[in-house]
Amino acid sequence: MLIRAFRKGDEDAVVALWQACGLTRPWNDPAKDIARKMTVQPELFLVGELDGKVVATLMAGFEGHRGWVNYLAVVPERRRQGFGRVLMLEAEERLLALGCPKANVQVRDSNQEALGFYKSIGYLQDEAVSLGKRLIADR
């Protein structure tokens, strides 16, 4: 799998991947998420490509205190082949190069497969509660 930065023209394939992986939600417009990410650290929006097709994604960011990973997705038929692990290692290396001391991920508590994956690569549950407040309504 070739890892590269997201580029213009990937939008449809990326959104289709996120939908196939169950990552999209009605209140979140994935096209708007992509457009917003392209204005902030676009080099941390990674795409995994195989045979010219988008097969994986990862969106990361660092705000000076913590690194964050969102939208880690691997096409269902390519899971358990190391693609997610390779993308996470690349993101961790890029975050570390920016001076990031710790990376965080948020996983829905119903997503046991993802929780198991992150645990297998060294991520542990923090003693914290995630709170959110929507500032811009996407839909």
User: What pLDDT, in 10s, does the model give residues 103-121?
Assistant: 999 998 888 999 999 999 9
Give the residue, 94 or 110, on which the prediction is more confident: 94
Banded model confidence at residue 20, pLDDT cuts 50, 70, 90:
very high
Cβ atoms within 10 A of the Cβ of 52, count? 6
φ, ψ at 45 (rounded to 5°): -105, 100
pLDDT value at residue 108: 87
pTM of the model: 0.92
The residues facing 28 across adjacent strands are: none
Cα(117)–Cα(27) distance, integer angstroms: 26
Instruction: Show the tokens assigned to 123.
Output: 């991520």
Residue 113, Cβ density class (10 Å: 0-12 exposed, 13-18 middle, ≥19 buried): exposed
